[in-house]
């Protein structure tokens, strides 16, 4: 570790540094590692926290006297909707509890907009010449894949520490009526960990848009997923939009995928009362009711909104040490060398690592050959194309702490080797 920026090294020093990294990498490759930092999955120990669910529900009748074993209740059972309405600062009649995936709900909403148009649309989106979405980057790869599948165009804006670059967003949406919507992960964003500030949320809620039916897909997947005591509170986008005269603009999503079981949780959709009715009407063409037994099980397991908050503390105890390891190793190995910057998220599931421009794919390829699977370079950008080839998403929740450390040591070696190669090449 030369303790000064690599760019300041003399040609000889750089050659020495490169040779040292090549040796370190050869050593790494010889270790037969098999590690995976690719996807934001809860670790088995996190899933174990919810195993009481396997013995619930007690009885099958909910608080309203509904027999959850039967058909009906498309909007979901009231006690669970009330619980999550409280957590998300909304009214119970503004929220739907659905099946196990909020991503499915996002796809349904896009499908309904495409085929039928929204409550404030002039026509179905499929009848527009072109539909475009604003995508803050880096962002969530599955959002972008979903847009691609619809043939929806994308235009990117930078994701800052306090949310999307509102000036850039406001300019785009003001003049282009093909821009029908935007994605945002407002709390502990995937992958940057950014938290959308109240000021940013206010601007997004109130900015004039050329499209009358502009939608904010407010994907609050990590609303309660704090890693520190400094707990972010999501901006109340529904009230802000309503106050600004655009009540139907935001559609909020959330789920218990990373609270209870990723494969058997409950997804939520929220919006204006009209938006909720619109969604339910379309949902009703293909469903008679959700899995209310799973909803009842969740309501009994948590007991109350406070029960959800208490449960999230137990997750934090399990995963915060893994995030601490990521930061410690990056700091120790890369700090001060001017070859990388990374986020220090206070919640969520990811760390966003920026390496020297043009080296992210090389780092991911080197890691792969050494037995460490990373999310493909560019995954956090539409079409998988990072214009600077510098961003890498790290997902440390799933592996054991020792494996997170081993994987990060390997990542650091790969970052250093790729940086040394690039600088030597330029010299």
Among the listed residues 28, 43, 152, 221, the single contact to ligand PMP using CB under 6 A: 221
E strands, 250-293, are: 250-255, 267-270
Q: Which candidate, 232, 193, 225, 191, places its Cα nearest to that of 395?
A: 191
| Of the candidate residues 257, 294, 359, 413, the single one contacting ligand PMP (CB under 6 A) | 257
- Pick the stretch among 43-51, 96-104, 332-340, 372-380 that binds ligand PMP (CB under 6 A): 96-104
140 binds ligand PMP (CB under 6 A): yes
Tokens for 329, please give them: 């190793």
**For tokens 């655009």, what's the residue?**
246
In the complex, the smallest distance separating the C-beta of residue 374 from ligand PMP, rounded to whole angstroms, is: 16
**Element holding 216 (H helix, E strand):** strand 215-219
- To ligand PMP, the closest distance from the beta carbon of 376 in angstroms equals 15
Choice between 211 and 259, CB closer to ligand PMP: 259
Cβ proximity of 169 and 208 under 8 Å: no
Q: Based on the number of CB atoms within 10 Å of its own CB, is 404 exposed (0-12), middle (13-18) or buried (19 or more)? A: buried
Stretch that binds ligand PMP, among 49-57, 100-108, 125-133, 297-305 (CB under 6 A): 100-108
Core vs surface per residue 338-364: b (16+ CB within 10 A) or e = ebbebbebbbbbbbbbbbbeebbbbbb
CA distances from 298 to 25, 59, 160, 311 (A): 47, 13, 35, 12
Please identify, using beta-carbon distances, which residue of 237 and 414 lies nearer to ligand PMP.
Answer: 237
Q: Which of 21, 46, 68, 102 forms a contact with ligand PMP (CB under 6 A)? A: 102
351 versus 423: smaller Cβ distance to ligand PMP: 351
217 - beta bridge partners?
A: 183, 251
Supply the minimum distance, in Å, between the C-beta of residue 144 and ligand PMP.
Answer: 11
Q: Cβ closer to ligand PMP: 159 or 410?
A: 159
261 binding ligand PMP? (CB under 6 A): no
Binding of ligand PMP at residue 220 (CB under 6 A)?
no
List the interface residues with ligand PMP, window 289-348 (CB under 6 A). Answer: none
Q: Is 40 in the site for ligand PMP (CB under 6 A)?
A: yes
Query: How many angstroms separate the CA atoms of 214 and 209, rounded?
Result: 7
Q: Tell me the two tokens of residue 156.
A: 């990117």
The stretch near ligand PMP (CB under 6 A) out of 13-21, 99-107, 280-288, 369-377 is 99-107
Answer yes or no whether residue 190 interacts with ligand PMP by CB under 6 A.
yes
| Residue of the chain from 192, 194, 255, 275 that contacts ligand PMP (CB under 6 A) | 255
CB 214 within 8 A of CB 238: no
CA–CA separation, 225 and 237 (whole Å): 18
Report CA-CA distances (Å) from 315 to 90, 157, 223, 403.
Answer: 25, 32, 14, 18
The count of residues interacting with ligand PMP (CB under 6 A) is: 12
Quick one: which segment of 18-26, 47-55, 98-106, 228-236 binds ligand PMP (CB under 6 A)? 98-106
- Please report, as ranges, the residues that interact with ligand PMP according to CB under 6 A: 40, 101-103, 140, 185, 190, 219, 221, 255, 257, 267
């Amino acid at each position: 570790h030369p303790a000064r920026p690599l760019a300041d090294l003399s040609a000889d020093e750089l050659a020495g540094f490169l040779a040292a990294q090549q040796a370190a990498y050869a050593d790494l490759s010889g270790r037969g590692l098999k590690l995976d930092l690719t996807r934001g999955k809860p670790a088995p120990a996190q899933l174990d926290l919810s195993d009481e669910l396997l013995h619930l529900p007690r009885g099958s009748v909910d608080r309203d006297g509904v027999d959850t074993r039967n058909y009906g209740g498309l909007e979901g059972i009231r006690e669970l909707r009330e619980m999550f309405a409280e957590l998300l600062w909304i009214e119970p009649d503004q929220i739907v509890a659905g099946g196990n995936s909020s991503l499915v709900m996002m796809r349904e909403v896009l499908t309904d907009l495409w085929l039928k148009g929204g409550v404030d649309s002039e026509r179905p989106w499929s009848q527009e010449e072109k539909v475009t979405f604003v995508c803050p980057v880096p962002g969530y790869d599955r959002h972008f894949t979903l847009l691609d599948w619809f043939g929806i165009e994308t235009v990117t804006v930078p994701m800052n520490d306090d949310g999307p670059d509102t000036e850039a967003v406001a300019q785009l949406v003001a003049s282009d009526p093909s821009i029908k919507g935007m994605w945002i992960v407002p709390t502990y964003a995937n992958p940057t960990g950014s938290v959308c500030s109240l000021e940013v949320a206010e601007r997004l809620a109130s900015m004039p848009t050329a499209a009358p039916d502009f939608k904010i897909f407010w994907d609050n997947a990590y609303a309660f997923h704090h890693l520190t005591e400094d707990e972010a509170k999501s901006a109340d986008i529904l009230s802000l939009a309503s106050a600004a005269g655009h009540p139907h603009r935001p559609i909020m999503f959330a789920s218990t995928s990373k609270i209870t079981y990723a494969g058997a949780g409950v997804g939520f959709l929220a919006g204006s009362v009209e938006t909720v009715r619109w969604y339910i009407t379309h949902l009703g063409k293909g469903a008679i009711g959700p899995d209310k037994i799973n909803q009842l099980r969740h309501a009994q397991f948590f007991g109350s909104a406070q029960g959800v908050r208490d449960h999230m503390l137990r997750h934090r105890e399990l995963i915060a040490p893994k995030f601490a390891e990521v930061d410690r190793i990056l700091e120790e190995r890369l700090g001060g060398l001017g070859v990388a910057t990374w986020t220090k998220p206070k919640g969520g599931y990811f760390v966003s690592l920026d390496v020297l421009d043009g080296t992210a794919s090389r780092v991911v390829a080197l890691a792969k050959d050494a037995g460490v699977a990373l999310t493909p370079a560019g995954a956090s950008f539409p079409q998988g194309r990072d214009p600077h080839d510098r961003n890498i998403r790290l997902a440390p929740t799933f592996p054991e702490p020792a494996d997170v450390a081993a994987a990060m040591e390997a990542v650091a070696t790969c970052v250093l080797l790729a940086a040394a190669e690039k600088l030597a090449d330029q010299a």
